[in-house]
Amino acid sequence: MAIITSNIIFDLVGLVIVVIFILILYFKRAFNYWKSKNVPYVEPIIPWGSLVPPHKRTEPIGDEVARIYRDAKKKGWKHLGFYILNGPIFMTTDLETLKCILTKDFNHFVDRGLIVNEKVEPITGHIFFLGGKKWRNLRTKFTPTFTSGKMRHMFETIADCGVKLEQYILKEISYHEPFDIKDILGNFATDIIGSCAFGLEINSFTDPNNPFRLMGRKIFLRSPVGNLKFLLVSNFPSIGRLLKLKLLDPEVTKFFTKVVIDTVNYREKNNVQRHDFLQLLIDMKNNKDASKQPGDGKCLTINEMVAQCFVFFIAGFETSATTMAFALYELSKHLNIQKKVREEIDRVLRKHNDAVTYDSISEMKYLRQVIDETLRKYPAAPFITRQCVEDYVVPGTDIKIDKGVRVYIPIKGIHYDEEYYKNPEVFDPDRFTDENKQKLKPYAYIPFGEGPRMCIGMRFGIMQSKVGLVSILKNFKVSLNNKTKEPLKFLAASMIPQVEGGIWLNLEKI
């Protein structure tokens, strides 16, 4: 019996050795991809590729991608490759090439290369992840939602949320405690998106632990295991589908599915019509035109509606709250800039009978410069992706990007490039005066991406950020509290910039 057991153990050990040997050969072959194309690349390690393994990560992946960009620029590399697990990634430091990828030759790079598995996880089938024909049809349908006319219509809702923000701060300021400003602005943005997207009154300031806030906090933080699962699904999609791996917390999926289904049922049962994003989706769902086919992005199933509402929520509340928080952080450190912003706010509002309106907000050019500079230093998406859908030769080179290869656009790396921005670590809104913007090299500033897949909700995000900042700055002086740990350190597990320990500010009534 002991001999049989020993033989089994020996056979298992031998099998493991063989499997490891095969995997090593597989990765060595995969890691020869860029060398065979004579493209400079970042050395990989088996099995993680060129990036830091998830369990050893001490900085966000966006910062690591920016560092790869900086190192490549120092070496004089215009084009380079690296690996995530076994997957080859192309990156360029040349803005002309970037223009081709994002705009000029967009048809070669329509997709983002993000995994959509609508059968297993329907909520991933939203406009941000989708590619091809379905993405085009949805984009065409959604674009009118963000016209000037629709923005004006939604402005009253946003302004009302600004009033609630002011009232909350006035109430809390009497306790003389510092404010976790990101948390407060998260409440503000959640109320806006809840109303504009779902037609729901969320009242985050009176109920900061409402389900929308709780779910919002869960979405953007991944554990090392979650990051590993994302890497696995991204690089081995067939394995991900076979194992039916899900990227989102099931509780998040269940919550948003229930909210959308219940709201749609209520509206249809009671014949309720609203001028909001959900109503657009309901109209698409009920589109009975025989030429429309389920799954084409022209008419929607209830699961597809859930997916679009989900991405509208996460893109609308978190990115704007983050931008406003970093803007106030910088203004708390640069009191001269804060004073200049407040003077503009006071001057413009006096012209409009002290009313925060769509027109008065639009006139605040220096405030927009502050937001633009904030987005340069702290882009909500430090990098974005594209996937080659048709073999592509990089103009002026013999480099061929094969179909299926992903491209990383290092937004934060570009935004901190000294070739385009003198003293990039310095916060300077004057970089974005009308005159200086004309001097800025095209594609050197892309916080919302660029080209046909540029962020569809950019104008909405800027508008609500302006309202939030005006609501605070016209009433309160902002200063930095010593609870804020400097220099700022960003959470390694977060997909967007989040500060360890939070951003704590003092607010003083003017």
> In degrees to the nearest 10, what's the CA dihedral of 219, 223, 224, 227?
-20
> In terms of residue numbers, what domain contains 403?
31-509
CATH of the domain at 300: 1.10.630.10
Q: Comparing 52 with 142, which gets the higher pLDDT?
A: 52
Lowest mean pLDDT among 53-62, 223-232, 314-323, 359-368: 223-232
The amino acid sitting at 405 is V
pLDDT at 290: 41
**How far is it, in rounded angstroms, from Cα 472 to Cα 454?**
29
Binding-site residues, please? 455
Q: Is the pLDDT of residue 387 over 60?
A: yes
pLDDT of res. 312: 87
Distance CA 201, CA 477 (A): 29
Q: Is residue 231 part of a domain?
A: yes
Instruction: Please tell me the predicted confidence (pLDDT) of residue 277.
Output: 83
pLDDT above 90 (res 401):
yes
Greatest mean pLDDT among 62-66, 176-180, 202-206: 62-66
pLDDT tens digits, 426-448: 999 999 999 999 999 999 999 99
207 occurs within a structural domain: yes
Tell me, what's the pLDDT at 129? 85
In a domain, 327, yes or no: yes
Question: Residues forming the annotated binding site for heme?
Answer: 455
DSSP H helical ranges for 199-301: 211-219, 224-235, 237-243, 250-270, 277-285
Q: Is residue 268 part of a domain?
A: yes
Question: What is the rounded distance in angstroms from the CA atom of residue 132 to the CA atom of residue 117?
Answer: 15
Q: How many other CB atoms are there within 10 angstroms of residue 402's CB atom?
A: 13
**pLDDT in the model for residue 154:** 85
Half-sphere exposure of 379 (CA within 13 A, CB side): 24
pLDDT exceeds 70 at position 113: yes
- Quote the CA–CA distance of 471 and 163 in Å, as a whole number: 7
Q: 32-46, 136-150, 167-181, 490-504: which range is least confident on average?
A: 136-150
The number of folded domains in the chain is: 1
> Quick one: DSSP state of residue 44?
P
Model confidence over 319-344: pLDDT tens digits?
A: 899 999 999 999 999 999 999 999 99
Complete DSSP assignment for 482-509: TTS-SS--B-TTBSS--BTT--EEEEEE
pLDDT at 458: 92
Per-residue pLDDT, 224: 65
- Is pLDDT above 70 for 12? no
pLDDT at 286: 85
CA distance 440 to 387: 27
Query: Peptide bond preceding 47: is omega within 30 degrees of 0, i.e. cis?
Result: yes
186 contacts 313 by C-beta, under 8 angstroms: no
Confidence of residue 80 (pLDDT cuts 50, 70, 90): very high
Q: Look at residue 315 and tell me if it is in a domain.
A: yes
Which of 18 and 384 is assigned the larger pLDDT?
Answer: 384
- Does position 393 have pLDDT exceeding 90, yes or no? yes
Domain annotation covers residue 5:
no
Q: Is residue 22, in this structure, part of any structural domain at all? A: no
Among 174-183, 393-402, 426-435, name the one with the lowest average pLDDT. 174-183
| pLDDT at site 291 | 47
Residue pair 144/460 in contact by the 8 Å Cβ criterion: no
Give, in degrees to the nearest 5, the angle at Cα 239 between 49 and 122. 110
Q: pLDDT tens for residues 463-505?
A: 999 999 999 999 999 999 999 999 999 998 887 899 999 999 9
4 part of a folded domain: no
User: DSSP secondary structure string, 129-190?
Assistant: T--HHHHHHHHHHHGGGGSHHHHHHHHHHHHHHHHHHHHHHHHHGGG---EEHHHHHHHHHH
Q: State percent of the chain over pLDDT 90.
A: 61
Q: Please tell me whether residue 415 adopts helix, strand or coil conformation.
A: helix
Mean pLDDT of the chain: 89
Mean pLDDT of 290-307: 70
CA atoms of 277 and 315, how far apart (whole Å): 14
Two structure tokens written together for 186: 């998260």
pLDDT of residue 262 exceeding 70, the answer is yes
- Per-residue pLDDT reduced to its tens digit, 13-46: 666 777 777 788 888 899 999 999 999 999 999 9
Kindly state the average pLDDT of the residues 196-216: 86
Whether 115 and 233 have beta carbons less than 8 Å apart is answered as yes
Is the four-CA dihedral 463, 465, 471, 477 of positive or negative sign? negative
pLDDT digits (tens, 9 = 90+) for 84-110: 989 999 999 999 999 999 999 999 999
Please give the pLDDT value at position 297.
55
